[in-house]
Amino acid sequence: MQAFESLFSQFIAASSPADAAHDLAHVRRVVKTAKRLCDLESACAEVVVPAAWLHDCVTLAKDDPRRSQGSMLAADKAIAFLIEVGYPQQYLAAIHHAILAHSFSAGIAPETLEAKIVQDADRLDALGAIGVARCLQVGTALGRPLYAAEDPFCREREADDSRYTLDHFKQKLFTLADTMQTAAAREEARHRTRVMQDFLDQLAQEI
């Protein structure tokens, strides 16, 4: 597996992420988390590890109209690459599904333990201190204001993260803990969500 992982890393490093929040550092964090969950859940590493490495081999900007198709494009590209490097064929279908199901915007339910782990690992990277940083990176790249001056925390209006960066916390990020598939990920997600809430509480005092 180690030899394959070197190839996976090179392949991802050569790709062009849609934004700074989906760079090689993000992929490496997802791989690290996926490996930990794989061990805890006694899942198949031959599926989890390549799926985690390759889950974002195609990325589309948050405002791209094809956003929901991103995981399908990534899954197809990943399998073509794995065939090219001679990865064992018996794992390819499961890897394709794990990549396909990882995406929040695709709305595809994971059907295997390995797909659940890859989805959890990716979603955990949207939470906590790194989740705050990534959210701000994406909002800045899209040119969105940080918050609505008249109601920064959506107390009297519907959240709209297509307009304001902070709205993404309420509209999506604070819902992720409830979508975690594995017990270990749910526990970690709750902790990271508290970290994000602490950030917003401090921000509220400052503004």
**Residue 173 half-sphere exposure, CB side, CA atoms within 13 Å?**
30
Give pLDDT, residue 67: 65
Give pLDDT, residue 63: 64
Give pLDDT, residue 15: 79
Give pLDDT, residue 65: 64
Coil vs helix vs strand at 64: coil
Outline where DSSP puts E strands in the chain.
none
Residue 199 identity (one-letter amino acid): F
Give pLDDT, residue 146: 96
Give pLDDT, residue 68: 64
**CB distance 182 to 117 below 8 Å:** yes
**CB distance 135 to 168 below 8 Å:** yes
Low-confidence ranges of the chain (pLDDT < 70): 18, 61-68, 106
Give pLDDT, residue 16: 74
